[in-house]
Amino acid sequence: MKINDNYSRLEKSYLFSEIARRTAGKDVLRLGIGDVTLPLAPVVISAMQHAATEFRGYGEEQGYKFLRDAVVDYYAPKGVGLENSEVFISDGAKSDLGNILDIFSCDATVLIPNPVYPVYVDTNIMAGRKIVYAKWGAPDPEVRADIIYICSPNNPTGEVYNKDELSAWVEYAIANNAVILFDAAYEAFVRDPELPTSIYQIPNAKKCAIEFCSLSKTAGFTGVRCGWTIVPHETGLNELWLRRQTTKFNGVSYIVQRGAQAALSPQGVVQNRANIDHYMGNAKIIMDALDELGIEYKGGKNAPYIWLKCPDNMTSWQYFDHLLNKHQIVGTPGAGFGSAGEGHFRLSAFAKREDIVMAMGRLREYSILR
């Protein structure tokens, strides 16, 4: 058989699988993968329990209308008007961030921030696309690209673009006749009301941007699986994506979509807000400890990740081994998010509160992160 040779250009394993492998069976404090630790909101549980008693056959590939309408309503207070035909219900942002590439040519040049969520790089390597890397900040007018990834709030650094900065990217995309793939998975963690939580809050973004969002972190759906992808008609890509989805996807289960609808209801938003506040409380505990220890970091204020500089010029994997072996703490090495992440390390605020308190206690006890 002839296999896809591009796979030979990938790292041997996916970042979070590698970390899971290295820490399997160990009694450790897990501040690595951004996996939620609080249960689903009560309103979501009862909606799913009820839905389980209702019989359904195949649903609409694009998602049930009741949930697409709920997504439209979720965007309205952001000042974003959507049509429900622009909303596609997914099984989470990760899948669609990869799947969307089906509708773009493999000859396209892709611009990817560095450091960033590794799915963007890996899925484009699989397709053999040319990748150019960009630092966080303003677009470089000298660099040409057809597909532009933006993750804001950024995973892993926790940085968030303001409206002017995002406007510059929208203008750049339009000038390049490019599409922006905007990953908004962490939008619910933005605290500063001046910061945008959707790219469609930026003028003209509906002409050039596809937005991916997820209930994984917002509503504790990492194991339940539901999110959405917005493909505005103005991009000219909506029908293509619909064609792709109706062929390759049979939709998210009815039970899960009823749970997602409940998560987006006014009561669901209030209940989920309490969980988000709890995680941001975890972020504060981490930041307080780092402040006390004089460790440089970013993030944590409008995002659930804290991005710190490894002490003693350690590489990020050296620091990973050090924290794991000496303090039984698991984090995520910055190099796993791209070359620009080398020398940095990510801590996740999604960990259990008691684990975070204990981990920060251990670091304080040794007075520095050593």
State which residue, 173 or 283, has the beta carbon closest to ligand MLT.
Answer: 283
Between the CA of residue 117 and those of 91, 93, 227, 335, what are the distances in Å?
A: 18, 12, 17, 11
Determine which helix (DSSP H) or strand (DSSP E) holds 148, and give its type and residue range.
Answer: strand 147-151
d(CA 166, CA 20): 35
d(CA 176, CA 266): 40
Which of 30, 41, 87, 94 touches ligand MLT by CB under 6 A?
94
* Residue whose beta carbon is closest to ligand MLT: 34
Residue of 79, 60, 82 whose CA lies nearest to 70 = 82
Binding flags for ligand MLT, 250-289, as an x/- string (CB under 6 A): ----------------------------------------
3-state DSSP assignment of residue 360 = helix
Two tokens, residue 339: 């070359």
CA distance 347 to 330: 8
Using CB under 6 A, pick the residue from 33, 44, 170, 178 that binds ligand MLT.
Answer: 33
How far apart are CB 96 and ligand MLT at their closest, in Å?
12
- At 227, phi and psi to the nearest 5? -160, -165
Residue 155 CB, nearest approach to ligand MLT (Å): 5
Q: How far apart are CA 311 and CA 336, in angstroms?
A: 18
Contact (CB, 8 A) for 104 and 147: yes
x-or-dash string of contact with ligand MLT, 189-218, rule CB under 6 A: ---------------------------x--
Q: Least Å distance between CB 301 and ligand MLT? A: 18
- Whichever of 113 and 232 has its CB closer to ligand MLT, that residue is 113
Q: Taken in order 196, 109, 116, 237, is the CA torsion positive or negative?
A: positive
Contact flag: residue 290 with ligand MLT (CB under 6 A): no
Q: Within 105-164, which residues bind ligand MLT (CB under 6 A)?
A: 117, 155
Options 33-41, 144-152, 223-231, 251-259: segment touching ligand MLT (CB under 6 A): 33-41
Choose the binding region for ligand MLT from 27-35, 41-49, 70-78, 273-281 (rule: CB under 6 A): 27-35
Q: Give the whole-angstrom CA distance, residue 5 versus residue 88.
A: 31
Least separation in angstroms between CB 291 and ligand MLT:
23
Closest CB to ligand MLT among residues 202, 306: 306
34 binds ligand MLT (CB under 6 A): yes
Tokens of 189: 């963690």
Sole window of 4-12, 32-40, 164-172, 201-209 interacting with ligand MLT (rule: CB under 6 A): 32-40
Alpha helices, DSSP H only, in the chain? Answer: 15-23, 42-51, 65-75, 93-99, 119-126, 163-175, 205-208, 238-248, 254-264, 266-293, 316-327, 353-365
Q: How far is the CB of 37 from ligand MLT (least distance, A)?
A: 12
Place of tokens 């009741």: 66
CB of 251 to ligand MLT, least distance (A): 21
Q: Which stretch binds ligand MLT (CB under 6 A): 31-39, 229-237, 307-315, 319-327?
A: 31-39
225 near ligand MLT, rule: CB under 6 A: no
Are the beta carbons of 126 and 8 closer than 8 angstroms? no
> Is the bond into 153 cis (omega within 30 degrees of 0)?
yes
How many residues in the shown chain lie near ligand MLT by CB under 6 A?
A: 7
- Binding site residues, ligand MLT, CB under 6 A: 33-35, 94, 117, 155, 216
